Structures are given as structure tokens and as C-alpha cells.
Structure 1
Amino acid sequence: METRPVLYIGNKNYSSWSLRAWLGLKVAGIDFEERLVPLMTEEWDAKAPVFSPSAKVPAYFDGQKTIWEALGILEYIADSRPDTMLWPLDMDVRAIARSVALEMHGGFGPLRTHMPMNCRKSLPGLGRKDGVEKDIARIGDIFKMCRTQFGQGGDFLFGHFSIADAMYAPVVTRFKTYGVELDPVGNAYMQAVLDLPAMKDWYADARDEEWVIDVSEVG
């Protein structure tokens, strides 16, 4: 019997990187077993170095090998399962999508620091500290550019849901939590992400979690 792949994740309320891999796999229709290990607990300290070479989440075990980092996991799925269409088919458009995804992977430090992901909270107006407005403006520009230039085939950045959308999904949750409004194009895109059935499932699970990480709470 074929072994189901396993995706190790952290708390759904807080773990933005877990959301990226989890959402990408769900929307792509990949069958996997989810194993949640609560962050900053004794269980985490014991298990994380075992299931992940980096001792971080997400980590994906396909029965033979472990792949870690959300972008690495989703790139592996895009390569091994091209039918998932996790990247645009056109090479030039795919290059833009990768650039957008990598900008998210390595950037927007002020936003990440001052607006931590917290799906359970509504904190409009908080987190607007040094550098955050610049990050918000740049993300709004990315959303508008992608939607207007490449998004005609659907509701997402490049039409069909792609890795780029998975990478920005935690930003959408942050903008929801902290009451960040963009232009009509950006707002419509964010609503499309929030309306994904998998995204609704993630939010429902986050609301039901009992764990609270004080250092990740704002307000």
C-alpha cells in the first residue's frame, strides 16, 4: 500500500510558513497526512529536530525523503506533479511569478515583525510602525500589477492559483487581522484568497486551537 506523504506544521493561528505549504498542497489537490506539533512546547523541542533538518516547519516527508521550507516543498510538487499547475505555464510569466514569490520569501521584515500572523484576532490600526507602510504599499503594487497584467484567467495573482498565492496568503491574513485596506483590485484579490475552502478550514482550525504564544500576541 502506498504511503501517504506527511506534512509537519505548527500552530495554525501563528505559523505563516506552515500555511504557505499547507494551502498550496490543499489547493493543488495533494493527498497528505497533517501532523501539527505545537510551537514553543516540550513536544516541539523533542520532535522538531527529528522531522525537520532545520528543526522548523513546514517539513514534508514523502515516504523516502524529507523536504523542508515552504517554497522548497511547493517547488517539489510543481516539478513532480506538473498537472497541479502550481506555476504559470508561460516561461516569461513564470519568471515573474517566481520573482514575486521570492520577494515575499526574503522580504517585508517590518511587516512580519510588527504585524505577526494571528488568525483569531481583529486588531485594526495596530502594527503600523517604522517600515510597515512601505511594505504595505509594495505588496499592494505587487497585487495590482499581477492581477492586471497576468490575472485575467482567474481570481488569483496569475489567474490560476499558484505558488505565488500560497506565499502571500499569510500576508492576506495579516491584512485581515490588522484592518489593512488596499485598492479595489487588491481588496478583491484578498477576498478571493480568504474565500478558498481550504483557507476557511484553516481559519476554523485556528479558532479552535487552545494554545496561546504570548510573544506572538499583539494588543
Structure 2
Amino acid sequence: MSFHLIIGDKLYSSWSLRAALGLELTGAPYTEQIIKLNQPDTHARLLEHAPTGKVPLLKCEHGTIADSMAISEYLAERFPEAQLWPQDVAARAQARSACAQMHSGFFALRGNMPFDLSRDEALTPMPAEVQADIDRIVALWAECCAAAKESGPFLFGKASLADAFFAPVAVRLRTYRVALPAEAQAYIETIYQWPAFKAWQREGLQELVE
């Protein structure tokens, strides 16, 4: 069993972070390859690996898997013992629903608050459509916690794919200094104390000096 993860800059690639955290949850060893984004040869280099021309990409014995959602579902199937999704049927359904909403929505937040681990400045003025996205995310996190059947500081008690998908959102909310309810702030702190995320953050910030 061999896994090779192709990602963008750790400093800027939120989609890559999702896939990497999912892999970390499995406990399986893997290698990684960083292809710097927004370079003249970025698209050509990515096309060498898959026709999507995007990251993340997971190379494994079953071929090259594109897209963080597909990678996550593949890993959940390959490593059932890792329990990447909540075990309770209702909680698992809500976890998948939350990830799908993140995967296909919140365009105002993404467009106005680009992912950047090194940022530390508020977005002013805050567009109404971005605030609406933030309010919905806070409500969605509360819905996840309400559906959880296990205790713990993550969305469904213990760390799951839901947290892998929302870790980049937590980064955006902290690095843009967004004022949030105490429960949401506590969840962001949980993400920032997650060892898998801390390792990614450390390596991402190191890219600034390389």
C-alpha cells in the first residue's frame, strides 16, 4: 500500500490541507510532492499527473484520485478501522452534509478571504455576503456538535473528515480576525492545537523564508 499526495503550497492551498489531514487521520505513511501554485509552469506540471490540472491529487494502487472529497471517501473506504466518519448513522449523515456544503458553497467567504496561513489582519469593511457565509458556518458547526454522539472538542467529538474540511475555514476566521461566539472560537483553537494541523502550519510558514 503506497500513497503519494500531490499538493500546492502549504501556505496557500486550502484544498490540499483537507486531503493531507484526511491522510493523517488514517495513520498510513505517505509521501508528498509540492507543486507551487500561481507559477508560469504550474498548470503544465499538474497536467503531468492528472487532466484536472488541480490539487490535491492522490496517487495510489488504484490510480490517481483527484478532488479532496473523492480522496476523503476513498480513504474512508480503505481504512474503516480509522473511523474517518462518525460511526452513528445520523451523525455520519450530518458530517457528510456539512462537508458537501463546504465543498460546494461559501463562495463569498472564499473569494474575499483567501487562505493564507501568515495573514493577521481583519477584512474591512466586511461585505454583507461574507458575513452571511460566516453566520451560516457558525450555525453549521453548532448543528454538527448537536448531532455528535461522542464527546470531544471536534465537530463530532473526535477528529474526523468533517474537521479536515473545516480546518481551512478555521484558519480564515482566525487570520482575518473575525469576531465569533465563544463556542466557535473554542473550535478554532481545537483545530490550531491539532498536531496534524500544527505540523502543516509550521511547514507552511517555513515556506515564507525558503
Structure 2 length normalisation: TM-score?
A: 0.93
Match of 1:175?
173
For the Cα contact (< 8 Å) 1:154–1:160, is it kept in 2?
yes
Match of 2:39?
41
Q: CA deviation at 1:36?
A: 0.4
SS at match of 1:51: coil
**Separation in 1, partners of 2:208, 2:40:** 16
Q: Output one character per residue of 1:80-103: Cα deviation in whole Å (capped at 9) or x when no partner.
A: 110111111122221111111100
Supply the AA of the counterpart residue of 1:85: Q
For the Cα contact (< 8 Å) 1:114–1:127, is it kept in 2?
no
User: CA distance change for structure 1 residues 77 and 134 in 2, over 3 Å: closer, same or farther?
Assistant: same
Q: CA deviation at 1:151?
A: 6.0
Match of 1:106?
104
**Separation in 2, partners of 1:190, 1:18:** 19
For the Cα contact (< 8 Å) 1:110–1:130, is it kept in 2?
no
Q: Which of 43, 53, 60 is equivalent to 1:62? A: 60
Q: CA deviation at 1:187?
A: 1.2
Gaps of 5+ in 2: none
Match of 2:195?
197
Q: Output one character per residue of 1:135-179: Cα deviation in whole Å (capped at 9) or x when no partner.
A: 000000111222234164211111121111111110001011101
Moved more, 27-36 or 41-50: 41-50
SS at match of 1:34: strand
Q: Output one character per residue of 1:14-70: Cα deviation in whole Å (capped at 9) or x when no partner.
A: 111001001121133121101000012244233201212311000000144011100
Q: Which of 48, 51, 65 is equivalent to 1:50? A: 48
Q: CA deviation at 1:9?
A: 0.2
For the Cα contact (< 8 Å) 1:85–1:162, is it kept in 2?
yes
Match of 2:186?
188
Match of 1:30?
28
**Separation in 1, partners of 2:154, 2:36:** 31
Supply the AA of the counterpart residue of 1:143: W
**Separation in 1, partners of 2:207, 2:149:** 35
1:147 aligned to 2:145? yes
Moved more, 22-31 or 104-113: 22-31
**Separation in 1, partners of 2:15, 2:4:** 16
**Separation in 2, partners of 1:144, 1:74:** 23
Task: Please report the RMSD computed on the Cα atoms of aligned residues, expressed in angstroms.
Answer: 1.8
For the Cα contact (< 8 Å) 1:115–1:127, is it kept in 2?
no
Match of 1:215?
none
Equivalent pairs counted in the alignment come to: 210
**Separation in 2, partners of 1:24, 1:126:** 33
For the Cα contact (< 8 Å) 2:98–2:140, is it kept in 1?
yes
User: CA distance change for structure 1 residues 151 and 110 in 2, over 3 Å: closer, same or farther?
Assistant: farther
Q: Which stretches of structure 1, 4 residues or more, deviate above 3 A after TM superposition?
A: none
Supply the AA of the counterpart residue of 2:54: K
Percent identical: 37
**Separation in 2, partners of 1:182, 1:105:** 22
SS at match of 2:196: helix
